[in-house]
Amino acid sequence: MNRRWYAAVHVTLLLGVALVTSMLVRDAITKPQRGADGSSSRGREVGAIRSVSGNARYKGSNTLDWQTARENTSVREDDRLQTMGGSMSIVLVDKTQPVNVAENSMVVFRSAVDGDEQEVEIEAGSLDLATLDEHRVRVRSGSSVIRSRPRYVEFVPDDGPLPSNPVQRVEMGLRHAETLMRAVRKLGAPEADLLLAKAILAEAADLLRHDLPPAAGAAADRAYEHLLELFRRARRASRAIVSVSRDEKGEIRVQAIQGEVTIQSPLKKTTLREGEGVKVSATGSAGTRRKLLDPPVLAWPPLQATVWNNYRPALAWEALAGAVHYTVELSRDRHFTDVLFSGACSTTQWAPPGVLSDGRYFWRVRGTDVEKFVGLYGIGEFSVGSDRVPPALDLTLKGRWEEPR
């Protein structure tokens, strides 16, 4: 009996030692290794700082010291980024996904526990996450996980039998092109890219009115092929944008700016459609979904206009009902992955703090309501140019004038 009891105790001790050893090994693998000086080796790279505006600080996971955040700085697991008042930063995660960290924010970057996706944990403040794939980057805040899904529009052409009547065949082609144009516009393609298709469709309709079905059909086919290429391009560029903020009470505000957003909390799963927002408590309980503020109507400069000899143009928009203040961003990139200037104001006009050079610019503005929910973006495009007028030529002829005899 004593021998059996001794064997049982011996086996139990061996199992306990093996369990503790495996835990220590796993802990050594998952945690940074510390040297004699107390420093630790950094985890694997998850991204890089794309741009910094104002005063932002950055701290690696292996140091206690904060440093000034600079462009092209490598971001690794468990590194922290903090933005001060009036500053912002954009981190390009996984080389493709821009994370826009707003002012007075603190975020941590790491790999997710349950896969290869990258994770951004927001400790304070707010950020915008643009993503092309819902399984690439996710946001964690407290016990809630937020994922965004790209805005998707599926265009299925009608492959039914073509009418034998030539006029009806052209009319069907025109309808297909119009359906495809609506899909391209919904994906966010700029109106400038649609101008050629509109002109070709107008030409096709005019040829059909003049009883020229063959020429009208050829024009409709050209418009369709052009729109199909625009659809493929816009589909590749389509992004989901989720805005997440966390206040001092631990409450989270999640806003689906573009695409759909899924919130997975310990209590339930909540899905937000584009243009919806919800408040999530510190315990993970989601409140009632609400409609976000509409995009402000942009007033000046006109879309795709050129601003001559004005290198700090005052951007203007119409007042938005329900907005208590506005946030404005200016970029050279239509996807705003590299913001040049940004600012907040309570009026409907804002000028960049720095001088612009010649070239094309994109700008966007959105409102924030009294409950601190941000709205959808109004997006504009303009160019800055120098109108160099040559000096006037003063030509004076000297000589004596004689009346002809």
Domain positions in the chain:
1-31, 45-152+238-291, 166-237, 298-385
Q: Answer yes or no: same fold for 45-152+238-291 and 298-385.
A: no
What single-letter DSSP state applies at residue 1? -
Ramachandran assignment for 386, one of left (phi > 0), alpha (psi -120 to 50 degrees), beta (any other): beta
Whether the CB-CB separation of 378 and 366 falls below 8 Å is answered with: yes
Collect contacts of 182-185 with beta carbons under 8 A, ≥24 apart.
183/153, 183/155, 183/231, 184/227, 184/230, 184/231, 184/234
Residue 152's pLDDT is: 76
The whole-number mean pLDDT for each consecutive block of 10 residues of the chain, a chain of 405 residues, reads: 55 51 44 40 84 92 92 93 92 87 93 75 92 78 88 72 84 89 83 87 90 90 89 81 91 93 88 95 89 97 93 96 96 88 94 94 97 95 83 63 60
- Please give the backbone phi and psi of residue 256, each rounded to the nearest 5 degrees, phi first: -90, 95
Give the tokens for residue 254: 């999640």
Side chain identity at residue 213, one-letter code: P
Give the tokens for residue 253: 């505000």
Q: What architecture (CATH level 2) is domain 298-385?
A: Sandwich (2.60)
Whether the CB-CB separation of 278 and 289 falls below 8 Å is answered with: yes
Residue 253's pLDDT is: 96
Q: Can you tell me the distance from the alpha carbon of 210 to that of 224, in angstroms, rounded to the nearest whole number?
A: 21
Q: Can you tell me the distance from the alpha carbon of 132 to that of 327, in angstroms, rounded to the nearest whole number?
A: 24
164-188 b/e with 16+ CB inside 10 Å = b?
eeeeebbbbbbebbebbbebbbebb
Of 353, 348, 352, the residue nearest 382 (C-alpha): 352
For tokens 């004076």, the residue is 396
Determine the distance from the C-alpha atom of residue 12 to the mean position of all C-alpha atoms in its chain, rounded to a whole number: 56
Determine the distance from the C-alpha atom of residue 141 to the mean position of all C-alpha atoms in its chain, rounded to a whole number: 19
- Domain range 45-152+238-291, its CATH number among 1.10.10.10, 2.60.120.1440, 2.30.30.90, 1.10.260.40: 2.60.120.1440
Residue 156's pLDDT is: 72
